[in-house]
Structure 1
């Protein structure tokens, strides 16, 4: 087991691990999710301004890989604009499919989405066409900072749109 706050992994019997995590299992905080073999390649954070992509963060996360060599490669999050060609498929999925599905499922009006929020994605299996697939890791809706330099302009556009609707 590798604690996100520690450098070294720890050998732990399954029963001991289950006892240590009992409170998380009891309150429903643990989500059963398949292991993603591409974790060492990093995580992509998609920054959203309402229902539009405002930019991306790309980084390797120390806590997600056990190899000391891979952990030493983990560096700062690199921020890019929403036009970054590497992430256009993710942008289209977020704007055109996943965010509308999220708002529908949760009964949230698109105009009520936070001005800035983000979703973290692990890289899933490579598609037959060579493109990446993405596996949702988490959604953050508070304390979303820092973010790409281009994001404030998109946030301002979303806020202006909302104000126009209210007037």
Structure 2
């Protein structure tokens, strides 16, 4: 049988990328996608929510209504897992990340709010909804600084690298 991608056959390599090269691949994924699945845990159990995100380096940013189930869960337990993935065509295109960290809910009076708010592109949402660009949203901004990222890219096998790599904040 002819294989389209023969390098996918057999055992996966175990070679690790250097920290900087892995960081570059992760940033490429974060920059080329805008949806994630946020996993939280609360009184009613686990909750996985699709969320549109923006990022500043390895910090994911999103807004949400203050009383939403995900925000209630973050108030009870800030530990989160976030799944980000590129469209899958086949095994060779498999590319995604599991981001682990703690969510910090920021409001305009918080020290880090202004820095992260500059990276959050709220304007496109306002245009889509017919809202004035003179009135930015005032709701909380959630920032998740990645502590650990498990990155998967099966194309790495082609060049002798393990398809699953682990990045840790330094």
TM-score, scaled to structure 1: 0.28
> How high is the TM-score relative to the length of structure 2?
0.28
More helix by share: 1
More strand by share: 2
